[in-house]
Amino acid sequence: MQKSRTKLRRPVWHKRFRDKINPAVAQFTDSTRDDESLIQYEIRCSIAHTGMLKKQGIINNQEFNKIKNGLNKILNDYKKGKFKLSPELEDVHMNVEFQLKKEIGETAERLHTARSRNDLIATELRLYCRDAIKEILEGIVDLQKAILEQAERYKYAIIPGYTHLQQAQPILASFYSSSFFYKFQRDFEQLIELRKKINVSPLGSCAFAGTGIGIDREFLARQLGFEKPCGNALDGVSDRDFLIDFLYYLTRIMLHISTLAEDLIIFSTNEFGFVELDDSITTGSSIMPHKRNPDVCELLRAKCARAIGRFVSGLTILKGLPSSYNRDLQEIKPILFNQVKETYDCQKMAEILVKNCKFKTPDDDWVKRPNFMCTVDLIDFFVKKGRRFREIYGIIGECIRDSKGNIERFIQIVSKKTKTEDDLIEKILTPAFSVKNK
């Protein structure tokens, strides 16, 4: 790798040390690659903090206006692509402070009064998660809409239902589809609750022990839309429980998407054959022209594995950390940002997948023909007639065994053992009756 010839700027803390930092160490500890996502939150926190300093009489109105205008200019420059984070300045916090000093001069040196990078990053991550949850919630709603539209399209289509990947009982395709609506609804509701728990402000905790300067943490919290300030500064700068919770719920969304993808892979095979994936979401083989590969589904499964890995990485980083802020926490940022982006992308892909798959029955008459999948309905029939469940369950089990897989023979044996008409047994054993019966 080519070494940069740019002269390294000395960090703000350089006067504490006699020797310059090793360039390799500076590069190793740099977090600017991950901090691009936090620039807008850095500016928001800084403007709120500046307003609080003015309110408390720590800076005057002129200084407040200079700092606020300078910060807004940096934000506008960032949106226009004119402001980029420099690795030489360690992180987003020092980059913004350095740029502010270039814009407004020495007045910028008042900005960091009564705050630390420790409480800043803890606050900014909460702001980021708060906004990211909103985006993920919108993705869930879009996916749920697609699921409900599919359920409406196939409201009356009957398909085999499975347990242990064995045909179990006939169900409606709409019943199957809507089951995923409820999976994602649980994710939606948990994220709503998590957003409330995230809405606590660590700003004003400073490094970890608070500050002797007369600040107003309640004002700061209100300015940033938080419900309240955190209860303990030491906990406030180090708490990443909310982040781990968010990673978990994102992983759970990916698990649900993976289950959907796995089902569609299986159901679209020739062996199962009651789901057809549109050409627009499948790929072909380089040597087998007859193939239609469910690559989208397969990649969704794999991306779920990556999500699980990131979640475990986040937990492992926090494992065994001593109290207060530790630099290890820097490594959670890319995990979070990547998890959010990939989950949202996979939500969109799952939405496309649902919109472009079709259900089809094994054949036109299968719902009218007797099927071993409906033996539970036969048991239910006899139970409603007064037979003991375990008794009739045993009788039907014996009849299945003795029929050796022949449905006509099964009907005859049941008829003989239960003294029930063949035609009635045959009707009860049809998928159409089974679904209507429920």
Catalytic residues: 164, 285
Strand 200-201 relative to strand 275-277: parallel, antiparallel, unpaired?
Answer: unpaired
- Burial state string for 278-314 with b = 16 or more CB within 10 A and e = fewer than 16: eeebbeeeeeeeeeeebebbeebbebbeebeebbebb
Q: How far apart are CA 125 and CA 121, in angstroms?
A: 6
402: left (phi over 0), alpha (psi -120 to 50) or beta: alpha
Q: Which residues pair with 172 in a beta bridge?
A: 158
Phi and psi at residue 293, in whole multiples of 5°? -95, 135
Largest Cα separation within the chain, whole Å, is 100
Evaluate whether 159 touches 170 at the Cβ level (below 8 Å). Answer: yes
Structure tokens at 63: 């200084």
Q: How far apart are CA 206 and CA 155, in angstroms?
A: 58
Evaluate whether 149 touches 141 at the Cβ level (below 8 Å). Answer: no
Q: How far apart are CA 220 and CA 52, in angstroms?
A: 6
Q: How far apart are CA 349 and CA 304, in angstroms?
A: 13
The count of other CB atoms within 10 Å of the CB of residue 196 is 10
